[in-house]
Amino acid sequence: MKIYNGSDYLVKQKNEYNITKNRFAKISCILPIISIPILYISGISLYKNPDSAYYSIVFLLSLVGTGLFFRNAVTSKLAGIKELHFKKGISSEEELEKTLSEFLGDGFSYFKNIQIPGTKHGDIDAVLIGYSGVWVIENKNYSGTHTFYNGIWKRNNKTIYNNPIKQLRTNWKFVKEYLDSKNIDVPIFYRLYWGGNGNLQIEENIRNHIWYKNSKEWIRKDILSRFMINKANIESAKQIFVLLST
Model pLDDT for residues 19-40, shown as the tens digit of each residue: 554 555 555 455 555 555 655 5
- The mean of the pLDDT values for the chain is 76
pLDDT value at residue 227 = 76
User: Average pLDDT for residues 159-164, to the nearest whole number?
Assistant: 84
pLDDT value at residue 191 = 96
pLDDT tens digits along 194-222 = 987 778 998 888 889 999 988 899 999 99
pLDDT value at residue 100 = 94
**Which of the pair, 58 or 3, is modelled with greater confidence?**
3
Give the best-scoring range by mean pLDDT among 14-23, 25-34, 110-119.
Answer: 110-119
Q: How far is CA 23 from CA 17, 26, 34, 79, 225, in A?
A: 10, 5, 17, 10, 51
Q: For residue 224, how far is the Cα from the chain centroid?
A: 28
Of 34-43, 98-107, 125-134, 151-160, which range is least confident?
34-43
Banded pLDDT at 151 (limits 50, 70, 90) = confident
Rounded Cα gap, residues 228 and 132, in angstroms: 5
Q: pTM for the whole thing?
A: 0.69
Is the sign of the CA dihedral 164, 168, 174, 177 positive or negative? negative
Rounded Cα gap, residues 57 and 54, in angstroms: 5
Banded pLDDT at 5 (limits 50, 70, 90) = confident
